[in-house]
Structure 1
Amino acid sequence: MTRDLMHASEVKRIVREAYRRVPPTTTAVAQKFYSEEELELVPPAAVDRALGVANHLRFADLRPGETVLDVGCGGGIDTILAGRRTSPSGRVIALDFLREMLERTRAAAAEAGLGNIRPIEAEMEAIPLRDDTVDVVVSNGVINLSARKARVAAECARVLRPGGRLCVSDLTVGQDLPAEILTHPAAWAGCVAGALAEDEFVHQLERSGFVDVEVLTRQPLGVDDCALYPLFPDEVIELMRILIPPARQTHVAVSVIVRAAVPEV
């Protein structure tokens, strides 16, 4: 419990400042994870600010008529794709604690001609939705930004209807990184400092009430991959190249896609 609550306010400040400064230069991130056909369905402004770590929506099995919660919507790329897959009768709730991100998502939804997207400004540790109101929770590289991950998992389980589904992508780590990297603010903003081991991530979901937890994919994230994200400034990338042994530089972290559900009853 102590580890989960440590420095929560400081982590939020670091993440808030880093994401507010994200320039529209992350098209390479989107091209790494999404097909050309998928990117054609998304306005360029959302593609240009993609900051996810995988393409979890391919495994989410979103259906027309469902209510989807996108935890940490960012620039809106996943929100837009989810909005298209759940339309016309479904809806997507785009949650973010940064008003700037919500405005970008709102603008992208309008450009895409989608009327089934509802942005809400809130923290993922305190989701302002009633119990049992969501069919699917999705999230892309966001849960690791919280210093209270157990609380986030519990909130996701709470808002899901019986039998509801969770499909998220995030980073996990197998070995500790050098202290000079972990203590750098950019390491938190880039999800590396806050990353859990895979078994710990799965265990937290199970403790929060999720069942049938599956790790569907594992993709190594190396130093060169980190360099694609403007959240990692040049000095952090240089530190990685100097301090991380060459044999580990292609496996700084592992991007996983995890799927789970809440019980039917």
Structure 2
Amino acid sequence: MTRDLMHSAEVKDLVRAAYRNVPPTTAAVARRLYGADELADVPQSAIDRSLGVADHLRHAGIRPGERVLDIGCGGGIDTILAARRTGLPGRVIALDFLPEMLARTAKAVSEAGLANVDPLEGEMEDIPLPDGTVDLIISNGVVNLSPRKSRVMAECARVLRPGGRLCVSDLTVGQNDLPPEILTQPAAWAGCVAGALSEPAFVRKLEKAGFRDVEVVHREALSVDDCALYPLFTPAVIRLMRELLPPARQRAVAVSIVVRADLPEAESVAGSHDASGA
């Protein structure tokens, strides 16, 4: 069961409003997630707009020359790190549904002196790319922003080539872990808590979309103090967390996970159809 507490259009509207108005004061998030050596390769403009929940790129295994899709590029920090690792002739496609975010990424990419990034406006539920054209998909705290998570994962499987890979990070929340007074706050959805899946549900949805060898390779609790670093969580939501949650829960409002998964090779897909008589 998911916590899709609002209609899809309402969710998208509140996400647009929240992310358009994020103040450039999130460098503390970047310093929490990334090593100093990684940040040395990123312009300050991208560091100041960091809103991810983990450093999933440590687990992505980006290879030189790959075509990488970054879903929800935001301020551009992961796009830039991925572009440096894939190099030329590799490409990174920076996808976002907000033109403002794409402009921020393009600015940071220009400051970084990179020539292998392609900004792309579009929604993660309907990725404007042909089938089987991407080697690797990355995403950092974005899938939970969608009220149609199964659709997002199906789209990921569609645009990946056979044998392609996915490495994403997001927040997970167990069933009934948070009270409705928090979950019904728009800022809680924008912060990826209200819309969060449980870890088993996240894994099941990936498997249902056709991914195999789904593995959670990193887990880290997110405390109320950690949430306070993100301007997406309003002071009112942080206050509710402190008032309504017991001390133990305040130390683990949610769990940030990094998930890796593979898309089967074409031969194995065909073999499974043959075996089933389809």
TM-superposed CA distance for 1:180, in Å, is 1.1
Task: Give the whole-Å Cα distance in 2 for the aligned partners of 1:229 and 1:70.
Answer: 21
Say if 2:25 is the partner of 1:20: no
Task: Give the whole-Å Cα distance in 1 for the aligned partners of 2:153 and 2:120.
Answer: 19
Task: Give the whole-Å Cα distance in 2 for the aligned partners of 1:51 and 1:28.
Answer: 10
Aligned-partner SS, 1:100:
helix
Contact 1:25 1:49 in 2 (8 A): yes
Q: Which residue pairs with 1:234 in the alignment?
A: 235
Task: Give the whole-Å Cα distance in 2 for the aligned partners of 1:50 and 1:261.
Answer: 27
TM-superposed CA distance for 1:175, in Å, is 4.0
Residues 187-242 of structure 1 show CA distances to partners (whole Å, capped at 9, x for unaligned) of 00000000001000000000000000000011001100000000011111001000
Contact 1:4 1:150 in 2 (8 A): no
Aligned-partner SS, 1:164:
strand
Contact 2:53 2:171 in 1 (8 A): yes
Q: Amino acid of the residue matched to residue 198 of structure 2?
A: A
Contact 2:4 2:195 in 1 (8 A): no
Say if 2:256 is the partner of 1:255: yes
TM-superposed CA distance for 1:4, in Å, is 6.1
Task: Give the whole-Å Cα distance in 2 for the aligned partners of 1:239 and 1:4.
Answer: 20
Q: Are the structure 2 counterparts of residues 3 and 235 from structure 1 closer, same or farther at C-alpha, using a change threshold of 3 Å?
A: closer
TM-superposed CA distance for 1:99, in Å, is 0.4
Q: Which residue pairs with 2:275 in the alignment?
A: none
What is the correspondence of 1:5-44 to structure 2 with a 5 Å cutoff? 7-44=7-44
Q: Amino acid of the residue matched to residue 130 of structure 1?
A: P
Aligned-partner SS, 2:210:
coil
Identity %: 70
Q: Which residue pairs with 2:223 in the alignment?
A: 222
Task: Give the whole-Å Cα distance in 1 for the aligned partners of 2:161 and 2:50.
Answer: 29
Shifted more, 168-177 versus 15-24: the winner is: 168-177
Q: Which residue pairs with 2:75 in the alignment?
A: 75
Say if 2:171 is the partner of 1:171: yes
Q: Amino acid of the residue matched to residue 229 of structure 2?
A: L
TM-superposed CA distance for 1:255, in Å, is 0.1
Contact 2:171 2:193 in 1 (8 A): yes
Q: TM-score, normalised to structure 2's length?
A: 0.93
Say if 2:161 is the partner of 1:149: no
Q: Which residue pairs with 1:209 in the alignment?
A: 210
Task: Give the whole-Å Cα distance in 2 for the aligned partners of 1:164 and 1:150.
Answer: 18
Q: Which residue pairs with 2:123 in the alignment?
A: 123
The structure number with the bigger radius of gyration is 2
Q: Are the structure 2 counterparts of residues 130 and 199 from structure 1 closer, same or farther at C-alpha, using a change threshold of 3 Å?
A: same
Contact 2:2 2:195 in 1 (8 A): no
Shifted more, 1-10 versus 84-93: the winner is: 1-10
Q: Are the structure 2 counterparts of residues 220 and 166 from structure 1 closer, same or farther at C-alpha, using a change threshold of 3 Å?
A: same
TM-superposed CA distance for 1:51, in Å, is 0.2
Task: Give the whole-Å Cα distance in 1 for the aligned partners of 2:102 and 2:95.
Answer: 8
Task: Give the whole-Å Cα distance in 1 for the aligned partners of 2:47 and 2:254.
Answer: 24
Contact 1:5 1:148 in 2 (8 A): no
TM-superposed CA distance for 1:22, in Å, is 0.3
Q: Are the structure 2 counterparts of residues 124 and 114 from structure 1 closer, same or farther at C-alpha, using a change threshold of 3 Å?
A: same
TM-superposed CA distance for 1:88, in Å, is 1.6
Shifted more, 244-253 versus 152-161: the winner is: 244-253
Q: Which residue pairs with 2:106 in the alignment?
A: 106
Contact 1:4 1:149 in 2 (8 A): no
TM-superposed CA distance for 1:245, in Å, is 1.2
Contact 1:213 1:259 in 2 (8 A): yes
TM-superposed CA distance for 1:63, in Å, is 1.1
Identify unmatched segments of 5+ residues in structure 1. none
Task: Give the whole-Å Cα distance in 2 for the aligned partners of 1:136 and 1:58.
Answer: 14
TM-superposed CA distance for 1:64, in Å, is 1.1
